[in-house]
Copies of this chain bind each other. A is one copy, B any other.
């Protein structure tokens, strides 16, 4: 059984704070829950927490840290103990803005995480109060109107090491992975629920460490992914990969590069895993060469670009 309930919030860095904020508010349709210093706190209309994204002005792009909410106080203690055993723990701190104590640590690749249990549920202001009491907020219908943070895909120099850490120390389940002909692992799709993926590791083409591949935000229908592509087009957001269906995990995707340089996915669909003994699906190099589900070959940048960018490397957007 997993000790993690879900992933988030995430702190994202941007050297283009104003334009990035415009993107998340006007194009993705998120709400600004608050602002503090050089950070804006943003939420989707379906996020039960106060925010799922802390957007912070910075000299570079990339993900500062990824939050992980445990399923209980006891689960939190169990995970902290396990992490401490690996020597990757950084110690307790204050989560701030609606979260209680957080325990900070790094995965083997160096990405920073904050695991916590205590947090506040969002209470909408009057103008965002929903008609139905089982949603946290009114549906704002602005831009792509994303619902919530869905998953995080990070790059790793050594996918297997980080994947095993997520499996064994963090209690993630492994649903699918790519194994190259040389036996190395090129990608791993992990989840703590029936959803096909919540945390993804893929290989860093530059062997760099701690980089972000993309953050994915959920919409309820494929039609909304298609609409989002129209919005990206009209708003000069570089579409790196037009809407189509992944073979792995079967999610429907749209990838674009936000003004700060970070890759953002608008996603829906994806298979559900109900079998407690579900065998891990292993994709071979040959199978991956066939492209996405419908044969679409993603552009080269999709396999190499990450944030922060590696000096001298190819750029997307």
Contact assessment for A244 and B247 in the assembled complex, using a CB-CB cutoff below 8 Å: no
A285-299: CB near B (< 8 Å → 1, else 0) gives 001000011111000
Question: Size of chain A's interface in residues, with CB distance under 8 A?
Answer: 69
A121-159: CB near B (< 8 Å → 1, else 0) gives 100000000111111001101111100000000000000
Among the 9-residue stretches A161-169, A205-213, A226-234, the one with 4 or more Cβ atoms under 8 Å from chain B is A226-234
Contact assessment for B71 and A276 in the assembled complex, using a CB-CB cutoff below 8 Å: yes
- Contact partner of A194 among B145, B193, B271, B278, CB < 8 A? B193
Asked if A250 lies at the interface with its beta carbon under 8 angstroms from chain B, I say yes
Contact assessment for A250 and B294 in the assembled complex, using a CB-CB cutoff below 8 Å: no
Contact assessment for B71 and A234 in the assembled complex, using a CB-CB cutoff below 8 Å: no
Quick one: given A134-B176, A278-B48, are A231 and B193 in contact (CB under 8 Å)? no
Among the 9-residue stretches A87-95, A97-105, A216-224, the one with 4 or more Cβ atoms under 8 Å from chain B is A216-224
Contact assessment for B141 and A295 in the assembled complex, using a CB-CB cutoff below 8 Å: no
- Contact partner of A132 among B141, B144, B250, CB < 8 A? B250
Contact assessment for A134 and B271 in the assembled complex, using a CB-CB cutoff below 8 Å: yes
Interface residues of A in 231-245 (CB under 8 A from B): 231-234, 236, 239, 242-245
- Copy tally for this chain in the complex stands at 4
Contact assessment for B134 and A269 in the assembled complex, using a CB-CB cutoff below 8 Å: no
Asked if A182 lies at the interface with its beta carbon under 8 angstroms from chain B, I say no
Asked if A81 lies at the interface with its beta carbon under 8 angstroms from chain B, I say no
- Complex Cα–Cα for A276 and B295 (A): 39
Which residues of B have CB within 8 Å of A135? 250, 271
Quick one: given A134-B250, A221-B222, A223-B223, are A242 and B296 in contact (CB under 8 Å)? yes
Contact assessment for A233 and B144 in the assembled complex, using a CB-CB cutoff below 8 Å: no
Contact assessment for B271 and A141 in the assembled complex, using a CB-CB cutoff below 8 Å: no
Asked if A32 lies at the interface with its beta carbon under 8 angstroms from chain B, I say no
Contact assessment for A229 and B242 in the assembled complex, using a CB-CB cutoff below 8 Å: no
Asked if A301 lies at the interface with its beta carbon under 8 angstroms from chain B, I say no
Contact assessment for B275 and A121 in the assembled complex, using a CB-CB cutoff below 8 Å: yes
**Beta-carbon nearest neighbor of A239 in chain B:** B295
* A-B contacts, 13 listed (Cβ < 8 Å): A5-B275, A48-B274, A48-B275, A134-B250, A139-B227, A139-B234, A141-B144, A141-B231, A193-B274, A194-B194, A222-B223, A229-B294, A239-B295
Interface residues of A (CB under 8 A from B): 1, 5-6, 29, 46, 48-49, 69-72, 121, 130-135, 138-139, 141-145, 176, 193-195, 220-224, 226-227, 229-234, 236, 239, 242-245, 247-250, 269, 271-272, 274-279, 281, 283, 287, 292-296
